[in-house]
Structure 1
């Protein structure tokens, strides 16, 4: 069962890699409150009595502090693959055996709740409410270990079990996010929980900005026209106005569905355009998507397509200062693949 779970998680993780738009990483760390359920103080007392011990439990504390650390890779817009370490804290029990019967320490560790820590591989599906707020789940495997102690006796346990969790995240800025999360796993016979406050550092392709200029170090954000967010039909009119223009020099980058890096063959088109660029030319970049999916998401996708093309031009020696941007978002037109594009237009 556990081996099948491991194979399933790894297989799904590898298959989702093919959906990736770009490499985007994050490091997340957090700490909080841990507790467990499954064995209560009275149940532990009964278990000891059944083994013939005349014991008294003076203290039973199954709540403590815990933490987790995760490294994540954004394999898809809604899928984060994670590897991490999670500590569910410890359970503290104080008891005495009134008749001094031997092996009491061993019986204590076998009867008390199991808490511990371990390494995990997980998949984190995410639902985005908007640019800043998101809700996520977590499912994976946990390779855990536990060292339960009573006086000088150690009872070491280990296993591989299912890890589940969920959380809500707020994106503070391009590189930082904070989240409140819950994670749970059953260690041996005890369900362990961690509720924590976390901070994430994100690095890779920026969410809203074109990469920094190499010559000045100034970030060049995409300036969205005031028409962004118009209906799909109006966007179609704007797209057709470009199609109907014959006096300007232009080239189009076409994209696969839900991608913002163009087909490899498309990048060769820009070489001919670069040969036609003259001093003082202005470069207009118009980005659009088809009408599949939510309009808010399509605007984000169009922006990312424009950012990719702008960065590509900049690497070929074109200044960001000569670029203007028109982010259409979705266009209600057919065939759909015609509008999965960025149009570069030269003008004087």
Structure 2
């Protein structure tokens, strides 16, 4: 990828494609050329009185647990902000308002997070909520809102080692939320959270950093945050790590929970992360109209990773013809998918559902 300017206009070349850089992307590009990032700019409209003391106290409690920064218990707000590089020549930086502001929306109107519950399609909006506040407040407030009004089974956002098999793995949801809050373009559109009957997604404005591809997200990759000051403060508080592992944690959490691989991709000028609900719990399978032996076969496949036609015959105590017919029904429903043969028997893994 190559960026250059011609007669006052800026362009990006990717392979043989040439595209003009405009709008928010142009602002980011020009800032980077000056050695600055958006969150490092002084916010001369703000003062220390615009900082929320309770959010500062929450950060201090969290950072004490994380042990990534040494801070005196009685440190003043101005000294703390200076230590975090959020204060310069008596002026707050934009990052300070995003992280700790009393009314960040007064400075950056699109800081809000929109949460919507949908039916079968994007047009079928059942209800929605809008959450406002600084990053420290949103970090906890979004989880509380999801549990109160959106998730069928509330999940424990503090219980990072626990996997919620009935709906979504908490580690994946938490990383998705933090990635969106830390790495979004705060001059762009509000962050949008969507819940459907079988998936949960978060979209935030701002694409991937230059040099990072969608495939890179599935493996160890460099950490290149859009908002390095915001990311650094969140690291010191223990909310994120600094090694580019957020997307890997999402993938691993879904894998550990037996869920399909998540979607992690650039979309419509921003970044989309989407995870899918576990359709393979015993309760979910029983209400989907399957026979008892089919439920047992799906649970076996979930536990051991695969099932063969011959193994189906064995655990269900049925003939090959019956096993073949049952498996065909499961394939038609998207619950099983054929991945080849083992010996003379077909092999199946879990599908993503229909």
Larger Rg: 1
TM-score by length of 1: 0.22
Give the number of the structure whose residues are more often helix, by fraction: 2
Structure with the larger RCO, 1 or 2 (CA within 8 Å, 6+ apart): 1
Give the number of the structure whose residues are more often strand, by fraction: 1
TM-score by length of 2: 0.21
